[in-house]
Chains A and B, each alone.
Chain A
C-alpha cells in the first residue's frame, strides 16, 4: 500500500481494512494523531487526505492508496497556527489540539468567526469552551493575511 505521507512517499504493509489512525500511529510512528472516541465524533484523529479534513478512525487505510495524507507532524514545528495555539492558550490538555489544528489549516485566511465555528463543529474540546481556539485561529489568519 502506497501513499504520500507529509510530502514523502510511504509504503506500508497493513490489512486494507486497518484504520488509517492505527496505521499512522503504529506503522508510521506518528503519534501526534490522537484517538478520542473511535467513532468519528470527537475529531481528535483528524488528518488531511488530499487536502480535506477527515477523521482517520473511520478511514480504512485502503481508501488512501495513492492519496496525499498530511498529519500534524507534516506541519512542522513552526506553523503560525501552532504558535498561536500556544500563545492564546488554545491548547489546554492538548489532546484535541492536533486535530483542531489540522481542521483549522483547511480554513481560508479570511474566514469569519461563523465559518470557523462551522468548520470546527466536528472537533470536540472539553477544556477551552472553544473561545481561545477561535482567538488562536484568528491571530494566525491575521498573520497569514
Chain B
C-alpha cells in the first residue's frame, strides 16, 4: 500500500508525546553560561553613555566593539542594514545594545546597566512616514478605460493590526565555541540563514555549524529572528570561550521579535450592473518597522495577492512598505497575503451589497478560471480551482438557506474565497538552487535536507514521498536532523515550499536511487556495494517567466485555493462575536498525509480566527504594551469552534505525487469570512481584530 495519501504515524510523534523530544532549552553543555540582552528603552535617538552598575566578576560583557575585524555588524538577510548590536543610533524600542553572560541566572538578571540617550522624535504612524522601504506597482490593462466602462465605483479602506506568532516555545539558542568558529544549536526555521548571518558576523572563513533543535512552532516567527539571537549567543561564546544559552522569556520574545505587518489597503473598484469587475485600483501600505528585514518580500507577496482570486482586465496595484520607529515586522504565515486577501474579500461583500447581489453570485461571476490571467498577467491552467472550492463550500454549508434563515437574528454567516501562491515568488526558486539528498544506510535510507520540522510534518511527509518513490517500507526511511555540516542547503522552510519544492527534489532523488538499486533493497545494496548518496537540485518549471522590474509574469509555479465559511453569533450584551461553526474547503493538489494536512488547515484556521477577533497588539511609545499571554489572547479551546474540513484534489504536475503548497493557505481565509459573517448582521467592520469594543462602536455609528 502506498504511503502517500495515508495518515502514517508521525516520525517525531512518540518523542513529542513522551516528552523525550529535546528542544533548545532542554539542552545543557558543560561550563555553559546564560546570556542576556540589554535593549534600548527609547524608540529613537542616540546612545550617549553606557554604565555597568554591577560587580563584573564572572560576567562576560559584549558590545559592538567585540565584533571581529573580519566580520560585520550586520544581520545579513535580504539587505544589509540591521546591526546585531547598536553602535550609536537607535531606531526602535528594545533594540539590542549590550550582551551579558554569567553562569548564574539570578546574578545575570540582577545586573544593572544604565544607558543615557540623546532622545530624538520617533515616528510611529505608517501613514505619516515619508521613508519608503520598498515600493512596487503591478499594472494590467487600461485602468481608466476600465473605470469608464463601469456602472458603479465602490471604494473602501481596510485595516489589519500587528499579529504576534505565539509559538509556544519562545526563541532560544545555544552557541558552543569551536576554535575560531562556533556551533549553534537552536530553535529555528532556516539553518542556512543563520549560517549566512554568522559568516557575516565573524567573516567568511570562520567555521560555522548550525544544528536545528526540536522547534516548538515557528509560523514565520523563526524565519529571520534566530539569526539575530544566534549572533548574540555566538559573540558571548567567543568572548567567554564557553557555551552560552540565550532563551527569551515570553515578554522579551513578544516585545523584541517580529510580528505580522499591520496593513492599510485601499480599494477603488469599477463594476458593471451584472457584477463584473472591470477596474481594480488597489493601494497596499504596510508598516515595515525600523529595518528592512523581509519587508520587501512581504509587500511583494501581499500586493500580488491583493486583487484576490478574480478575473479583471484592468488592474493597478501599488504596494508600499514604509519605515517607522517600531521593531521590524517580519515573516508570519501567509506573508502579506492574509492582509490583502482580508481587504479584497471584505470589499467584495460590500460590492455585492451595493449591487444587491449575494456574496456567492458576485464571486461566481468573477472567480478565476483556467485560461484567465491574474493581476501579474499569469495565465492559469487546469490547476485553478476557485469555482470548485466555492461551490463545494456553498453546498456543504447549505449557505443560501442559512443566509436567509439567520437574517434579522443574532446569527450571521459569511464566506471568503482565496488563493495562495506556493514557493518563492517569480524567479526566486530559480535563484535559490535548492538541494536535497538521499543516502543509503545499512538498514534503509536517510533523507538529508535543511528543511526543518517545526510541527507541520516535514519529516513525515518527506519520508512518505521517498517511501513510495523508492518502493520500500516507511519504517526504513530516516530523516536526519538539519545540521549544516551534514545536509545540503534546501532553501528556507517558508513560503509553503517544503512539500512542493523540496519534496519534489527528494522524489527525484528516490527515483534515481531506485534505478541504481535495480531489484535490490537499500540494505542489500549497501551490504554489496557500500554507501551511496544521491544529491539533486530543484528544477523550476521551464515555462516560468518573471519580470522583476515590471512585476509581471508567472508569479508562482502554482496556486492553492480555498473557500471558508464562518458562522457567528453576536452577544447583544457584550458585543462579543463568537464563531459557532467553521467550514474550510481547500484544494492544494494532493494531501500527502491527510491527517497532517487537516491539522494544517485546522491550526491555520484557528490562527486566522485569532487574527480576526482576538489578537490585538497594543502599541504604546513604539513597543508592545500587552506583551504577555495574559493580555495578548490567542484562541483557547473555548474560543475555537467546531470545524468541517474538506480537502479537494487537483493534482499539480510538477509537485511530488501531485502536491502543491499548503502551510499558509489556511490563514488567508478566516478573517474575511468572519468579517463578512458580521456584515451579515448589518455591522460594517473594515478593521481587524474585531474586538467587542470595535463592534460596539461600529453598532453605535449605524
Contacts and interface: CB of A to CB of B under 8 A. Distances in A.
Interface of A: 25, 30-39, 41-42, 44, 71-73, 75-77, 81-83, 85-98, 101, 116-118, 120-132
A98 B14 CA distance: 11
Contacts of A82: 14, 17-18
A39 B168 contact: no
B20 A86 contact: no
Interface string B208-240: 000000111111000000000000000000000
Given A88-B595, A129-B606, A93 B629 contact: no
A123 B604 CA distance: 18
Contacts of A101: 17
A91 B10 contact: yes
Contacts of A116: 637
Interface string B595-607: 1101100111111
B60 interface: no
A124 B636 contact: yes
12 contacts: A25-B26, A32-B20, A34-B216, A41-B628, A83-B14, A83-B17, A93-B216, A94-B21, A95-B216, A95-B217, A121-B636, A132-B595
Counting chain B residues whose Cβ lies within 8 A of the other chain, the interface size class is 35 or more
B15 interface: yes
Nearest to A85: B17
B75 interface: no
B19 A72 contact: yes
B425 interface: no
A30 B219 CA distance: 27
B629 A86 contact: no
Contacts of B599: 89, 92, 127-129, 132
Contact of A126 (B607, B630, B638): B607
Chain B interface mostly: loop
B19 A33 contact: yes
Contact of B603 (A35, A71, A126): A126
B223 to A, nearest CB: 15
Q: Which 6 residue pairs are nearest across A and B when measured between Cβ atoms?
A: A32-B19, A94-B16, A95-B216, A93-B455, A86-B13, A129-B606
Interface core residue of B19, B218, B602 (most chain A CB under 10 Å): B19
Given A41-B628, A86-B17, A87-B9, A95 B23 contact: yes
A116 B635 CA distance: 16
Contact of B602 (A38, A39, A129): A129
Contacts of B430: none
Contact of A124 (B10, B16, B17, B168): B168
A36 B13 contact: no
A139 B389 CA distance: 30
Contacts of A73: 18-19
Contacts of B636: 121-122, 124
Nearest to A44: B168
Interface in B431-469: 454-457
Interface core residue of A44, A72, A75, A86 (most chain B CB under 10 Å): A86
Given A34-B23, A121-B636, A96 B168 contact: yes
Contact of B166 (A123, A126, A128, A132): A126
Contacts of B21: 94
B6 to A, nearest CB: 12
Nearest to B607: A126
Contact of B169 (A34, A91, A123): A34
B695 to A, nearest CB: 23
Nearest to B594: A89
Interface string B574-614: 00000000000000000000011011001111110000000
Contacts of B25: 31, 34-35
Contacts of B169: 34, 36, 93, 95
Contact of A129 (B7, B13, B457, B640): B640
Interface core residue of A90, A91, A92, A129 (most chain B CB under 10 Å): A129
B605 A129 contact: yes
B250 A39 contact: yes
Given A32-B19, A94-B216, A95-B23, A130 B457 contact: no
B629 A39 contact: yes
Nearest to A91: B16
B643 A131 contact: yes
A86 B18 CA distance: 10
Given A38-B249, A93-B215, A94-B17, 17 more contacts: A35-B25, A38-B250, A42-B168, A77-B20, A81-B17, A82-B14, A82-B17, A85-B13, A91-B10, A92-B457, A122-B636, A125-B168, A127-B603, A128-B602, A129-B602, A129-B606, A132-B598
Nearest to A92: B455
A76 B680 CA distance: 51
A63 B85 CA distance: 42
A130 B9 contact: no
Nearest to B632: A41
A58 to B, nearest CB: 12
B693 to A, nearest CB: 22
B167 interface: yes
Contacts of A33: 19
Interface in B7-39: 7, 9-10, 12-23, 25-26
B657 to A, nearest CB: 19
B634 interface: yes
Contacts of B604: 129
Given A39-B629, A93-B169, A117 B16 contact: no
B22 A117 contact: no
A80 to B, nearest CB: 11
Nearest to B639: A121
